Amino acid sequence: MSDSYGSIPSTMKQLTSNEMTALHDVKKFSILAILGFLLGMVGLALGVSYLLTALSRGISSPQPLTSSLSYTYSILPISVPAIVIQIVSLVFLRSGYSHLKGTSERFDSPYTGINLYFIALILIFVGMVLIIGAALSTSVVMILGGFVMILVGGIMGLVGEVLGLVIGAFRLRDHFDKSAFGTAGIMYVVGIFIPLFSFVGAILVYRGTSSILNEKRNTQT
């Protein structure tokens, strides 16, 4: 289906129910992505703090496995919720793209990208489980299998990130004529190399969706 609006400003056109639902879903994605990133940073800070403490005490102790497991368990309480929140955020983004697909075929690629991202997360998660299991059983095959799955998942995740976040943001800009989405797309490009910029991108997506929804709310009052 072709895009029925082209580049008509969002404030000058009547948004369909699918587009309104999509905007709400994308906004939820941005809120959860921001929260997930912040929790992830807390987990990273705890992990770094643990490593520094271990180094100061002498990490060359005769129990490397115990140290490794202790490090893993120290960041799990924060890292697991952060990962779950990020996954849920992608569920909302996928839902948003799904609704927009009914209005414009330009969202087919971003929708496919998010699906690839989900598959990548599963592969990476399974790979990590294999590596942790290998640390307990000292299985070389499991370690190699885990690293291969993480590598494949990483490549697939990169493709999914480009399609789902970068191209998706630019498609949102074109569809709703909101420059904040375009700037978010640029931030997501840089965020591939410097994750902090993806956080900024999520903030810009939040601003873009909030701006359109507020404008619509004001025009209806």
- What digits encode the pLDDT tens for the residues 77-88? 666 788 889 889
Q: What's the domain range around 97?
A: 16-219
What angle (nearest 5°) sits at the alpha carbon of residue 177, between those of residues 174 and 178?
110
Shortest CA distance to 176 belongs to which of 198, 205, 203? 205
Q: Does residue 138 lie within any of the structural domains?
A: yes
- What digits encode the pLDDT tens for the residues 64-115? 444 555 555 555 566 678 888 988 999 999 999 999 998 889 999 999 999 9
pTM (predicted TM-score): 0.79
CA quadruple 213, 105, 98, 184: dihedral sign: negative
Mean pLDDT of 132-152: 79
Q: Does residue 4 lie within any of the structural domains?
A: no
Q: Does residue 2 lie within any of the structural domains?
A: no
Does residue 59 register a pLDDT over 70? Answer: no
Q: 208: Cβ–Cβ under 8 A, 6 or more apart, which residues? A: 172, 173, 176, 178, 180, 181, 184
Which helix (H) or strand (E) segment holds residue 81: the answer is helix 64-101
Q: Does residue 10 lie within any of the structural domains?
A: no
Does residue 32 register a pLDDT over 60? Answer: yes
Q: Does residue 88 lie within any of the structural domains?
A: yes
Does residue 164 register a pLDDT over 80? Answer: yes
Q: Does residue 6 lie within any of the structural domains?
A: no
CA quadruple 133, 139, 142, 148: dihedral sign: positive
Does residue 4 register a pLDDT over 50? Answer: no
pLDDT band per the 50, 70, 90 thresholds, residue 28: very high
SS3 139: coil
Q: How many domains does the chain fold into?
A: 1
Q: At what angle do helices 179-191 and 168-176 cross, to 10 degrees?
A: 170
